[in-house]
């Protein structure tokens, strides 16, 4: 009874407000134009909200990668009518403002209709606010709803119509409309509630987003799903009654379950986005060269990979179009939010030791100088280069090997010998041509150590150097934002001549895939820094180049980590999951000679120490030594899950390959060069393991083999 009395008391006031509003409009229309123009000049509508938008970082095609809230902490993404589903626009205008395209900001017919309904029913049946009036309220909110506030909205609506086109008004409304929480605008709502842009809305989704702005907090689907569902279906029913949507489609849409989860905004390319945002937070949109789909795939590749690594290890990856230099995917860490992995640090931009990853450019210079061919023999043995004595990763030496194999095996002595021949300063000059920045250790000069990782370089710059292998020796400058036309026209001096570049690439494509990966038509090189701090792998095919780094952001050691075991599998996985159409390697340039050893001229059959600029002294080669298992050890033979015996891993140091291995006097491996092999013992008990190198030197260990006892 009390509610009825209140309604009866309020009805004359509401009716008076409607009629007064109509009278106001008639006055404006009949003779107050001068006063309106004066008011408009003195009190222009506040439009600052339309410029206080979320900053967006987008991919090469405009797809959203990452966004930032505006100054007020709102998700307010700029909208564009062309980016909104046309059916949504039709539903919105049918539901909110049927004559939007015809009125001048205030709909007289709607005011008369609402007044008559109020008079006839004693309560408000429908409103008379136009889209323009609602925009006025959003631009200039007032604490209480009153007739004074309604008059003000009408006045502001007329002002807006004078200043803006209909499309601009509708766009502004779609940018500011409230959708619950800190969501403003159709794009923010569509992304938060449906994880899609408003161009892709279904009928049911469009209906919900039309209903939400009327009561955004009460109808939030993630908080009040029942109210949201009822409001959505009311909109759908109205569309059927209006004849806008066929009843059959409305029935299907009404039967669809409500999506009641609020999604996080896109969070791709975090490090790239942060870098651009910090550079210019006032710029509303930052376009990149990234490809959203590739970026998403590469982030997942790293996340999957580091899930198998230690919890404090990070990883970084760059995928670039080597023909243009455009970076298509850039991942600065495996998990941006991981404190254990220091995920906020962008490891694509940190200078670290590349290990052996620069060796291809040393070999390229030697090819360029005519010092070697792929089948030229070079001796891998201990050498003293004026006090610098490089050792191989496995502490052993291979003896005479081809240039082809020396590069694939990443042997250190041949690489240093070639660097000594062409000159470290020459390599540094070519790195400079590659438009990269390298850092030498404090107090050190340019010396032979740079060939084995004795300098710092970023993953971005290292990947940039490798673009030379798909461009006849010329690098393409890597960039994650579109280049200006003048920048695209810059032609840089080659890092290597085209023949040398092809020779090196032709060798690297023969690199053995990492264990556990499939075969792919790619060439690649790995690197492991001194002290097991950094693992690298950079690979390419005819067009695309991918660089991978794995390690700890604090530069501490990771015992046992190598480029081959940690970075190369990620490289292969990245190529395999990219979905890119891999292009063939380039054909040999005209005049490039690839000769068998027997066809080489005498001067190119062997690259000898005496050919070097300096004449290093040979260091006596150590005899072979079995480093595992140690002599006298008791070793349990581990069975597999199926109960079968697993082989015993045997490790060797020093000696000259090839090697012959004997177990209890019987040969189980011969003419091998590997220093880590598998031995399948013939039973339990005392066993003798022997190795003999190419020089006839031998080493033996005696071990006791046993099967582990079963636990009770």
Q: Which pair of tokens denotes residue 36?
A: 């309106």
Q: Are 478 and 460 in contact (CB under 8 A)?
A: yes
Helices (H), 31-107: 33-42, 86-96
Residue 346, SS3? coil
**Longest CA pairwise span in the chain (Å):** 117
**Per annotation, catalytic residue among 79, 115, 190, 356:** 356
Q: Which pair of tokens denotes residue 63?
A: 């797809």
Which has the closest alpha carbon to 591: 502, 526, 655? 502
Q: Are 328 and 290 in contact (CB under 8 A)?
A: yes
Helices (H), 333-411: 359-368, 403-408
DSSP β-bridge partners for residue 699: 691
Instruction: Count Cβ neighbours within 10 Å for each residue of 538-575 and write b for 16 or more, e otherwise.
Output: bbbbbbbbbbbbbbbbeeeebeebbbbbbbbbbbbbbb
Residue linked to tokens 């499309």: 167
Q: Are 542 and 582 in contact (CB under 8 A)?
A: yes
- Is the peptide bond prior to 629 cis by the omega test (within 30 degrees of 0)? yes
d(C-alpha 322, C-alpha 466), whole Å: 8
399-402 and 377-380 beta bridge pairing: antiparallel
Active-site residue flag, 614: no
Residue linked to tokens 């081959």: 564
d(C-alpha 20, C-alpha 170), whole Å: 27
Q: Are 43 and 136 in contact (CB under 8 A)?
A: no
Residue linked to tokens 């579109």: 482
Which has the closest alpha carbon to 584: 520, 541, 523? 541
Contacts 24+ apart (CB under 8 A), 137-146: 138/49, 138/173, 138/176, 138/177, 138/178, 139/45, 139/46, 139/47, 139/49, 139/50, 139/172, 139/176, 140/45, 140/46
Q: Which pair of tokens denotes residue 690?
A: 């022997």
- Strand boundaries in 453-602, DSSP class E: 523-528, 534-540, 544-551
Residue linked to tokens 């380039």: 586
Which has the closest alpha carbon to 329: 383, 386, 291? 291
d(C-alpha 636, C-alpha 649), whole Å: 12
- Residue 566 carries which DSSP code? I
Q: Which pair of tokens denotes residue 647?
A: 């082989």
Q: Which pair of tokens denotes residue 421?
A: 């021949």
d(C-alpha 177, C-alpha 135), whole Å: 8
DSSP β-bridge partners for residue 690: 662, 700
Residue 563, SS3? helix
d(C-alpha 538, C-alpha 543), whole Å: 13
Active-site residue flag, 237: no
d(C-alpha 64, C-alpha 56), whole Å: 7
Q: How many CB atoms lie within 10 A of CB 365?
A: 24
**Per annotation, catalytic residue among 54, 56, 79, 96:** 96
Which has the closest alpha carbon to 105: 34, 29, 176? 29
Question: Which of the residues are catalytic?
Answer: 96, 356
């Amino acid at each position: 009874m009390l509610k009825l009395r209140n309604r009866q008391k309020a009805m004359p006031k509401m009716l008076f407000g409607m009629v007064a509003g109509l009278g106001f409009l008639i006055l404006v229309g009949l003779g107050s134009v001068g006063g309106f123009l004066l008011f408009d000049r003195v009190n222009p509508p506040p439009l600052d909200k339309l410029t206080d938008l979320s900053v967006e970082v987008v991919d090469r095609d405009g797809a959203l990668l990452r966004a930032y809230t505006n100054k007020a902490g709102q998700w307010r993404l700029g909208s564009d009518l062309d980016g909104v589903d046309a059916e949504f626009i039709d539903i919105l205008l049918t539901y909110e403002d049927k004559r939007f395209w015809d009125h001048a900001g205030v709909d007289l017919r709607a005011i008369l209709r609402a007044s008559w309904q109020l008079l006839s029913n004693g309560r408000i049946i429908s409103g008379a606010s136009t889209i323009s009036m609602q925009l006025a309220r959003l631009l200039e909110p007032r604490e209480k709803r009153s007739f004074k506030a309604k008059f003000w909205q009408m006045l502001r609506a007329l002002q807006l119509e004078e200043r803006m086109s209909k499309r601009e008004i509708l766009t502004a409304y779609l940018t500011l409309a409230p959708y619950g929480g800190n969501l403003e605008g159709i794009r923010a709502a569509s992304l938060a509630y449906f994880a899609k842009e408003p161009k892709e809305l279904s009928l049911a989704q469009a209906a919900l987003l039309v209903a939400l702005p009327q009561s955004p907090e009460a109808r939030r689907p993630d908080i009040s799903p029942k109210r949201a569902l009822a409001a959505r279906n009311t909109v759908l029913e109205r569309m059927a009654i209006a004849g806008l949507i066929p009843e059959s489609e409305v029935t299907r849409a009404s039967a669809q379950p409500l999506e009641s989860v609020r999604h996080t905004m896109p969070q791709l390319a975090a490090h790239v986005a942060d870098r651009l945002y910090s550079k210019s937070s006032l710029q509303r949109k930052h376009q990149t060269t990234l490809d959203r789909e590739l970026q998403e795939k590469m982030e997942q590749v790293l996340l999957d990979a580091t899930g198998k690594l230690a919890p404090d290890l990070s990883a970084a990856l760059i995928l670039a179009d080597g023909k243009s230099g455009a970076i298509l995917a850039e991942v600065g860490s495996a998990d941006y939010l991981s404190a254990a992995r220091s995920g906020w640090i962008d490891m694509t931009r940190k200078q670290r030791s590349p290990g052996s990853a620069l060796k291809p450019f040393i070999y390229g210079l030697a090819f360029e100088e005519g010092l070697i061919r792929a089948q030229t023999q070079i001796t891998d043995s201990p050498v003293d280069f004026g006090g610098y004595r490089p050792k191989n990763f496995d502490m052993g030496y291979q003896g005479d090997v081809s240039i082809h194999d020396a590069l694939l095996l990443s042997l250190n002595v041949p690489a240093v010998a070639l660097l000594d021949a062409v000159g470290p300063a020459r390599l540094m000059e070519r790195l400079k041509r590659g438009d990269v920045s390298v850092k030498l250790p404090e107090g050190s000069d340019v010396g032979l150590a740079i060939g084995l990782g004795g300098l710092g370089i970023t993953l971005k710059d290292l990947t940039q150097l490798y673009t030379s292998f798909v461009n006849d020796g010329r690098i393409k400058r890597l960039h994650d934002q579109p280049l200006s036309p003048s920048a695209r026209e810059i032609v840089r001096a080659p890092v290597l001549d085209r023949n040398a570049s092809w020779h090196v690439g032709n060798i690297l494509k023969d690199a053995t895939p990492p264990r556990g990966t499939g075969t792919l038509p790619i060439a690649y090189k790995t690197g492991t820094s001194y002290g097991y701090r950094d693992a690298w792998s950079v690979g390419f095919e005819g067009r695309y180049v991918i660089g991978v780094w794995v390690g700890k952001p604090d530069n501490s050691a990771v015992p046992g980590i190598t480029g081959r075991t940690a970075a190369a599998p990620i490289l292969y996985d990245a190529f395999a999951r990219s979905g890119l159409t891999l292009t063939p390697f380039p054909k040999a340039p005209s005049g490039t000679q690839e000769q068998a050893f027997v066809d080489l001229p005498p001067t190119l059959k062997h690259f000898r120490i005496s050919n070097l600029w300096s004449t290093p002294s040979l260091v006596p080669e150590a005899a072979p030594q079995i480093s595992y298992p140690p002599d006298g050890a008791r070793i349990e033979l581990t069975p597999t899950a199926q109960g079968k015996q697993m082989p015993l891993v045997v490790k060797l140091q020093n000696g000259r390959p090839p090697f012959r291995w004997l177990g209890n006097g019987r040969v189980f491996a011969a003419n091998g060069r590997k220093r880590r092999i598998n031995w399948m013992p013939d039973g339990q008990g005392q066993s003798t393991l022997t190795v003999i190198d190419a020089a006839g030197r031998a080493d033996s260990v005696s071990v006791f083999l046993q099967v582990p006892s079963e636990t009770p």
